[in-house]
Amino acid sequence: MRISTRGRYALRLMLDLATNYTGKPIRLKDVAKRQGISDKYLEQIISILNKAGFVRSVRGPQGGYALQQTPDKYTIGMILRLTEGSLSPVECLDDNGAICDREENCVTQILWKKLDDAIKGVVDHITLEDLMNWQSVKADEYII
């Protein structure tokens, strides 16, 4: 499984919105500048996040975006599934996956299931708030 730029940038976007929120909506151009990501690409990603209700938009000259909920309510798995689709390593483990006619005798499915459980065990138990805390620790480790 490989996470695309859309999934990685969605995480960076959500983390930026969480980290820089001061009570006022955050302009996408500001996020793009801080993150070094094209604002056009961020517009595509924010549209997905907005439609799913992960962020709210405020129109007008003082407009921008903010998280709909607190950072502890968003798991990394939620964000990645929204932008990437299934995180399963093989199609037969997808929720809507194809039924495999070899399932009964497929030894490798044990491996794929363990890998799937490990991935879900990580992404479904780490929140944006956790990333914010890790980011804070990393910032404290930097010494000039």
- Model confidence over 89-144: pLDDT tens digits? 888 887 776 677 777 788 888 899 999 999 999 999 999 999 999 998 887 776 55
Between CA 50 and CA 101 the distance in angstroms is 39
What are φ and ψ of residue 71, in 5° steps?
Answer: -60, -25
Are the CB atoms for 30 and 36 separated by under 8 Å?
no
Q: Give the sign of the dihedral formed by CA 68, CA 73, CA 78, CA 79.
A: positive
The CATH class given to the 5-141 domain equals: mainly alpha
Q: Is the per-residue pLDDT at 13 higher than 90?
A: yes
**28-64 residue pLDDT tens:** 999 999 999 999 999 999 999 999 999 999 998 889 9
pTM here is 0.89
Domain ranges in the chain are 5-141
